[in-house]
Amino acid sequence: MRILLAEDEPPIAEALVRSLRCAGYAVDAVANGSDADAALTTQSFDLLILDLGLPRLSGLEVLRRLRARKTTLPVLILSAQDCVEDRVRCLDAGADDHLGKPFALRELEARVRALTRRGSVIPAQIDFGQLAYFQADRVVKVDGQTVDLSARELGLLEILLLRAGRMVSKEQLVEQLCCWDSEVSTNAIEVYVHRLRKKLDGAGVRIATVRGLGYCLEKSDAWPGGEDIPIRTAAEG
């Protein structure tokens, strides 16, 4: 789950980035409308959190340009004046939700959860082996017991789960897990995988290494013979 945050007030932006990253989202932040517009035309996101009062290009104009490109990206608008007229204009321009400042972080997080559920193809619950992943709460359970995972471990597992049985390259993992100001190296990916393997011991799943290419989440009885799985799955990646 990758979020673009367009907010020009540093204290608000910093608080939002921190809290959303803690919740396990990859967050990229920009501080003006034209950077937001540029990021939206060149990269893909799962949600846009858009301040209305942005320098260089207003939030409303960023939204209009986005919708003119016929994208269905969910958009949550933040605005300083929480007036009815603002809300109507934003909704008419294609916003999905609206939050007036000041707001409680908990409310913003709840709205983000609702919007990312709506905009994505991620089902509410994914079952794989003895493992169950509850997307809305970002909780992983094995045989009903919650597994204690860091935000990065959870993000990595989510990507592997969504493509279970198929190879995910290290580059794809790096791209999906990284944020502009917090790079994730391929070495770090190896560390997360190592930790996940330990934590998911007994879950009936395993993260197989596709030699030199990436990883594949398998049910643990899928390839009982060895550590590595055949390369043929690489073509699907």
Contacts with Ca ion by CB under 5 A lie at 8, 51, 53
Residue 1, CB half-sphere, CA atoms under 13 Å: how many? Answer: 30
CB of 77 to Ca ion, least distance (A): 11
CB of 223 to Ca ion, least distance (A): 53
For Ca ion, the closer of residues 86 and 175 by Cβ is: 86
For Ca ion, the closer of residues 101 and 166 by Cβ is: 101
For Ca ion, the closer of residues 56 and 166 by Cβ is: 56
How far apart are the C-alpha atoms of 87 and 227, rounded to whole Å? 55
For Ca ion, the closer of residues 14 and 143 by Cβ is: 14
User: For Ca ion, which residue has the nearest CB?
Assistant: 53
Q: Give the helix ranges, DSSP H, for the chain.
A: 10-22, 33-42, 59-68, 84-92, 105-119, 151-162, 170-177, 186-199
CB of 8 to Ca ion, least distance (A): 5
CB of 103 to Ca ion, least distance (A): 13
CB of 116 to Ca ion, least distance (A): 23
How far apart are the C-alpha atoms of 107 and 102, rounded to whole Å? 11
How far apart are the C-alpha atoms of 150 and 173, rounded to whole Å? 16
For residue 31, give Cα distances in angstroms to 11, 34, 53, 172, 219: 12, 9, 11, 26, 44
For Ca ion, the closer of residues 11 and 144 by Cβ is: 11
